[in-house]
Amino acid sequence: MAQLDGHVTTATITGEIDVTNADDLAGSLGEIPGEQALVLDLSTLSYLDSAGFAVLDRILSERPVVVVLAPGSKLRRAATLMGCTTTMTSPRPKPPRERRPCHDRGMATIVAFHAHPDDEVLLTGGTLARFAAEGHRVVIVVACDGIVRPEATGPALRARLDELHASAAALGVARVEHLGYADTGHGSRLSADPPGRTRFGNAPVDESAGKLADLLRAEDADLLLSYDPSGGYGHRDHVRVHQVGARAAELTGVRVLEATLPREPVVRLFHALRVLRLVRRYDPQVIATSYSPRSAITHRIDVRRYATHKRAALAAHRSQTHGTGRAAPLFRALAALPAPIFGLLLGREWFVDPASGSTRTTSDNLSH
């Protein structure tokens, strides 16, 4: 077993697992600290019977898990039938490489700044997986811990950050950081800070931007991914990500691109999802002014090749796919889709270059 970033444990299972040794597997997996997310590497496993699947099914129900299968694995069909939505057919993400200057290695360092755990997946997950697969260093920074409730303590306080580390492992991300803030919450009322924690929306922009700028300098970052001015659908933490990201870019001179969606199809899709009751409690007037108009988008990235990575990363956020949140039915449905259909629906990602005068989609390459 190998630990990644101290928050994710990778367990490699080889050979054959059947009724004679399934209990041994259960015992070994049970020794892994419960507060750590888990990557199960089954890429060299040659046989797994029903007793082994029962062990894996129990583990999948207890903690964030990403399952790694070799391309063409016969286990993939069985895992799908078992209901394992966290399978992926790609090599295990490699540990971070020793940092060298970009000009020496011909590679870039990309920092993706997001509001909450799970935001990294839908807007930028495929792009991050593509960067990582091409050999670039990818870093995810989240402003908030994903917890709104002031009474949360202990493992509950880290639950969504642990899911984030599992998601990052599925995407091949080298480093994950949390700026240290609590969720601000969504709605008209601004909640007071919980004991010992500061809500992101209550922190001064310059304070948050200073933290992000320090990380950008330490990473010698080449590109910062942030949000558009509307923060997507107007969540105050997402709007603050735009403000903080823009200010950090000013402080460091790092190039910034703003993750977004084309507004026009989003509005049409929202109305369809409301009819299907896959989204709840969203204001149609807010959606009508959400994200960015097509004319403002400068980059459309084809990430269909990384649909399996992106789907596995989404499935790692079990609290969101199996919870009671307003988007849970949609996330659950997406995570259960076959990879080709998932790629068809979520196989493109969009960005705006705020420094560009372009008024149309111009590039599938974020390097220009």
Distance CA 163, CA 52 (A): 24
Task: Report CA-CA distances (Å) from 70 to 49, 317, 335.
Answer: 18, 22, 20
Q: Closest by alpha carbon to 290, among 269, 319, 311?
A: 269
Residue 301 sits at φ, ψ, to 5 deg, of -105, 125
Least confident of 78-87, 164-173, 190-199: 78-87
Cross-strand pairs, 48: 17
Q: What is the CA radius of gyration of the chain?
A: 20
Average pLDDT (205-225) is 98
Mean pLDDT taken over the chain? 83
Q: Which residues contact 34 (CB under 8 A, 6 or more apart)?
A: 62, 63, 155
Task: Average the pLDDT over each of 9-23, 54-68, 132-146, 156-170 and give the range with the smallest value.
Answer: 54-68
Which range of 6-10, 21-25, 321-325 scores highest in mean pLDDT? It is 321-325
For residues 143 and 113, the answer to whether their CB atoms sit within 8 Å is yes
Domains of the chain are: 2-88 (3.30.750.24), 106-352 (3.40.50.10320)
Residue 149: is its pLDDT beyond 90? Answer: no
pLDDT recorded at residue 104: 41
What is the mean pLDDT of the segment spanning 51-66? 71
Q: Which amino acid is at 361?
A: T
pLDDT above 50 (res 363): yes
Give yes or no for a contact between 12 and 44, defined as CB atoms under 8 angstroms apart.
yes
- Give pTM, 2 decimals: 0.74
